[in-house]
């Protein structure tokens, strides 16, 4: 089997998404760790790999792919091993509805709320000049705006309430899907489980008010079954150099 190079951060969020697919498929890979707390994603050497300055990025046969959802479909299409996409086209579409939802709703809501908690503290340790210098290295304008907003006292309550509602609604959707079977789509583990798990893993800890044994028993059981899968367990066991938790 060909080998790939994977540029990634801790086993959390979008990096965990791709690490799970790689380990589940058994794809041989070289790990290139990018330390986000040291802003290594904005180093010129990494920007040459992904000009957006974000992880993960995959290199296969000298060609680079970005976007975790797209990378995972590519890995499943190109490499042998357990299929991670349903063969039935309707179920495959259902899988994509989950991965699209993760990218467009679930992950942004989680991410904005985490920024709201963490960024003001990080920025407080920088002088205004250091802050501007860090911002100047960020290639994506929306990322620079997100930093500025989070640093200037945080996001408006209206947005915070919307993101909290979206997370609670996500927990309800996961619980409802798992009433139909052991996995999110059809009767088999798929990229839908991988994408949702990468984001939901920390929710029993960070959002215990609505992810708990009373409100979401099936989701808790699914999180445990996911973490016990050998491929997922191997992804979770990847080093966490910075101590960041997803
Ligand atoms: N749409 C991209 C998003 C990638 C992304 O947001 N990566 C985060 C880590 S989970 C990152 O690199 N953050 C650092 C930064 O943007 O400076 C994907 O799915 O791969």
For the chain, domains (ranges, CATH) are 4-78 (3.40.30.10), 89-229 (1.20.1050.10)
Q: Does any ligand 1 atom lie closer than 6 A to the CB of residue 72?
A: no
Distance in angstroms between the alpha carbons of the first and the last residue of the chain: 31
Q: Does any ligand 1 atom lie closer than 6 A to the CB of residue 55?
A: yes
- φ/ψ (deg, to 5) at 214: -85, -50
The strands making up 63-66's β-sheet, listed across from edge to edge, are 29-33, 4-8, 57-60, 63-66
Which tens digits make up the pLDDT trace of 95-124?
A: 999 999 999 999 999 999 998 888 888 788
Mean pLDDT score of the chain, rounded to an integer? 94
Which tens digits make up the pLDDT trace of 158-212?
A: 999 999 999 999 999 999 999 999 999 999 999 999 999 999 999 999 999 999 9
Q: Does any ligand 1 atom lie closer than 6 A to the CB of residue 54?
A: yes
pLDDT category of residue 245 using cuts at 50, 70 and 90: low
141 has a pLDDT exceeding 60: yes
């Amino acid at each position: 089997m060909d080998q790939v190079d994977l540029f990634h951060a801790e086993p959390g969020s979008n990096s965990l998404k791709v690490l799970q697919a790689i380990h589940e498929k058994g794809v041989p890979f070289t790990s290139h760790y990018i330390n986000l707390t040291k802003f290594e994603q904005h180093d010129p050497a990494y920007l040459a790999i992904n000009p957006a300055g974000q992880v993960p990025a995959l290199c296969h046969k000298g060609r680079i792919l970005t976007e975790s959802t797209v990378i995972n479909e590519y890995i499943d299409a190109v490499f042998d091993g357990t299929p991670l996409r349903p063969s039935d086209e309707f179920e495959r579409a259902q899988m994509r509805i989950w991965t699209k939802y993760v990218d467009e709703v679930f992950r942004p809501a989680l991410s904005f709320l985490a920024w709201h908690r963490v960024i003001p503290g990080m920025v407080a340790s920088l002088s205004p000049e250091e802050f501007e210098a860090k911002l100047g290295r960020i290639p994506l304008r929306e990322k620079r705006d997100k930093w500025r907003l989070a640093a200037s006292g945080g996001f408006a309550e209206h947005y915070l309430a919307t993101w909290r509602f979206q997370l609670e609604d996500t927990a309800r959707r996961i619980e409802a899907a798992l009433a139909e079977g052991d996995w999110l789509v059809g009767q088999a583990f798929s990229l839908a489980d991988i994408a949702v798990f990468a984001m939901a893993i920390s929710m029993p800890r960070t959002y215990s008010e609505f992810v708990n044994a009373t409100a979401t028993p099936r989701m808790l059981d699914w999180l445990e079954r996911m973490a016990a899968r050998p491929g997922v367990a191997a992804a979770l066991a990847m080093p966490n150099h910075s101590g960041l938790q997803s």
